[in-house]
Amino acid sequence: MRVISFCTRFHAPTNRLSLFRRSHHKLIPPSSSSCFRNNNCSVMSGHNKMEQFDLSSNTVIDHPPALTDKITLTRDAGPSKFQVIADFDGTLTRYRVNGIRGQSSHGILQQGNADYDAKREALYEHYHPLEFSPLIPLHDKTKLMEQWWSKTHDLLIEGGLTCDAIKESVASSSIAFRDGVVELFEFLEEKDIPVLIFSAGLADVIEEVLRQKLHRTFKNVKIVSNRMVFDNDGRLVSFKGKLIHVLNKNEHALDMAAPLHDNLGIDIGVEDEENAYVKQRTNVLLLGDHLGDLRMSDGLNYESRVSIGFLNDNVEKSLESYREAFDIVYLNDAPMWGALELVSQLFPTEAS
């Protein structure tokens, strides 16, 4: 029995950018740039795309002095004390693709068995409203989420999910990364800064999305998610480690998951040492699109945390709670350029 990897590498060009945009603490109308609104700038180089966007029109910062203090502390500590923790769906990926709601890493998966796909959909219809019910105590809700995830995983095994089905599901999906994600990962890789992608989904699906949509992987990226185990015929037989669901998706789950590059030939015997090394990085940039994503840093005794929230929809309804919770809020499915500018300001690359 073996764990199957779908990851491949290839060299991708590195792009850089200039200065961090000015801060705004009041909501400003969306940018008039059609390129920004529609995310149709993929044919432009990364540098030219950065030049095109003025994120100030879609940026909300409620407490600029507090943010400045965090930036100063993080910069002074240096990159060796820094890490990035990121949600996947709706954070690294776009909320809308070609004007239509984009798919999630959960939603794209088709087992190749209509009966089992229907059973998983029925579980979603039953448990999803319970996940967001304000009437259910957290302890009881946690048990319900464990039931949902466990039943879903059982169906994936019983239904005979295969490696090929995962590849085909991703290939036919509309899931897409935000502009600037590749450049952000490249910058962090160059600086030896770890990126933890936290997901209550399936690590193998996320890896396949990275492989097909970004056409590469990164040695500094670690996926904290549920990992599958396949037999020699490529059929799912079990899951590795403890169950990670939406209510325990935090730094405590770090010890449950295997890094993305385990399956690229790196000795997994160093995993415990690597996890301890990550936990020593006490300055954090947290990226999320839900208020609950702020819990991803629970369990880490951080000194400073800069949080970026992507408010993709229902801006008028949700802005007040987002601006109070996150240090920086980007509106209207914004690209990742602002986060890239921030880390570039924190740890600039000296000109040769």
The SS3 call for residue 229 is strand
Rounded Cα gap, residues 253 and 244, in angstroms: 7
Q: Are 307 and 325 in contact (CB under 8 A)?
A: yes
Rounded Cα gap, residues 284 and 188, in angstroms: 13
The full DSSP string for 262-331 is: GGGT--GGGHHHHHHHHHT--EEEEEESSGGGGGGGTT---SEEEEEEEE-S-HHHHHHHHHHH-SEEEE
117 is catalytic: no
35's CB contacts (< 8 A; 6+ apart) are 41, 49, 52, 53
Q: Are 241 and 227 in contact (CB under 8 A)?
A: yes
Number of Cβ within 10 Å of residue 132's Cβ equals: 8
Catalytic residue among 54, 62, 69, 89: 89
Please state the φ and ψ torsions of residue 67, each to the nearest 5 degrees.
-65, -40
Beta strands in 185-282 (DSSP E): 195-202, 221-230, 236-240
Give the closest residue to 15 by CA, choosing from 185, 191, 214.
Answer: 185
Alpha-carbon dihedral sign for residues 226, 227, 231, 236: positive
87 is catalytic: yes
The SS3 call for residue 13 is coil
43's CB contacts (< 8 A; 6+ apart) are none
Catalytic residue among 62, 87, 204, 327: 87
The residues annotated as belonging to the active site are 87, 89
